[in-house]
Amino acid sequence: MRKWISFPKQVGTSSKQAHADFPEQAIYEREVGRSGFFGPATHFHHQHAPTGWSEWEGDLRPRNFDFNKLTSVAAASPWQVPMLLHNAHCKFRIWHCRENMPFLVRNADGDELLFVHEGRGELYCDYGHITLEKGDYFSIPRSTSWRLEPIEPMELLLIEATNGSYQLPEKGLVGNHAIFDPAVLDVPDIDDAFKAQYSENEWQVQVKRHDQVSVITYPYNPLDAIGWHGDLAPVRINWRDIRPLMSHRYHLPPSAHTTFVADRFVVCTFVPRPIESDPGALKVPFYHNNDDYDEVLFYHEGDFFSRDNIDRGMVTFHPAGFTHGPHPKAFQAGREHKKKFTDEVAVMLDTRDALTMGDVCESVENPDYVYSWKAPKE
């Protein structure tokens, strides 16, 4: 048995509660926490912005990638897509799928999560047929055979739960129907479109195991199920089905927006919501040291209210080890309560283990991003 060394203390001048009613002489709050946002935490009140560095040397730094520049890297198979960020438990890639797949793929390394950033298409798998639309998540259990037929060119996030599985978060006090009701989850159907692709022609399945691809050939299409029953299946949810937790008096931590949980990482979804209205409540994400997790944010749609000069299709990567938080203009706008509603959709990946960047990342990185927290000159 073990237990955190934890005993609430108060030293100097501080607010009574986190994220609200800051001392006038120190408007910058910084949260230092463990185990994501679930462990012990301390809140500092600073006279200067915790991100107000003037110079930065070394490899550890906040990073920004413009993956829109990878549009020319189209691949017939997801197993041909270059790795962007990865560790032993998670792989993060972006796939441009423009043509019908004339074969099936199967991931024997772990569950796969697709997020449709652009386009739409028909997906066929062991469980049937489903149409994927922009903004859909689609979770595929390990070793499911599947293929895509784009109706429009598709750009998808691929997040692999390596040697793991995707589950839903515990929703605690708010109950099972909060954030999204499980009744909104869709599964593939054995419909007319699925039956129309039955075939006695030769088909191949590209199976990925230990990141090596093997090919299994069948003299028929192995997607030939006539029905199924059980409680294991791929599921779809669109971000528009997510109804976020909100508090008009308290800025909720990112963990409140968790959509999927896997081994040693989570996937969260930020969707439009009202901004806190209480005069004393923080109205932008708080500065924080989340020193047990690396944070990746993919910006899907909208105006990203805590960031400057970030466009849709970009990714920010904040490794553990330093303070991060809103950019100066966003922080000031939050103090002035200029916006009453967020207009953003973003997918966040928080990993318990350090992520490694793929070789392609360097070619699309903005090296000046580390200095984007410098306060604008008067």
Total residues found in the chain within this entry: 378
| Closest by Cα among 256, 184, 226 to 36 | 256
Residue for token pair 């108060």: 10
Concerning whether 229 is annotated as a catalytic residue, the answer is no
- How far lies 234's CA from each of 101, 169, 190, 264, 323, in Å? 19, 17, 13, 21, 37
Single-letter residue type at 197 = Q
- 136 Cβ partners below 8 Å, 6+ apart? 114, 115, 116, 236, 237, 238
How far apart (Å, rounded) are the C-alpha atoms in residues 186 and 281?
A: 37
Say if CB 324 and CB 288 are below 8 A apart.
yes
Which amino acid, one-letter code, is at 329?
K
Element (H, E) at 267: strand 265-270
Q: Is 327 annotated in some ligand binding site? A: no
Find all residues with CB under 8 Å of 97, minimum gap 6, and list them: 74, 75, 78, 119, 121, 148, 150, 153, 154, 155, 156
Q: What angle do CA 68, 70, 71 make, to 5 degrees?
A: 80
| Cα–Cα distance measured from residue 221 to residue 143, given in angstroms and rounded to the nearest whole number | 16
| 3-state helix, strand and coil shares in percent for the chain, rounded to the nearest 5 | 10, 40, 50
Please count the CA atoms within 13 angstroms of the CA of 209 that sit on its side-chain side: 9
Annotated catalytic residue within 129, 251, 300, 327: 251
Looking at residue 288, its amino acid is: H
3-state DSSP assignment of residue 250:
coil
Is residue 288 part of an annotated ligand binding site? yes
How many other C-beta atoms can be found within 10 angstroms of the C-beta atom of residue 151?
A: 13
Q: How far apart are CA 261 and CA 267, in angstroms?
A: 6
Distance between CA 115 and CA 26 in Å, rounded? Answer: 41
DSSP 143: T
- Ligand-binding annotation for 294, yes or no, is yes
Phi-psi region of 21 (alpha: psi -120 to 50; beta: other; left: phi over 0): left
Annotated binding site for homogentisate: 324
- Which sequence positions are flagged as catalytic? 251
Annotated binding site: 288, 294, 324
Annotated binding site for Fe cation: 288, 294, 324
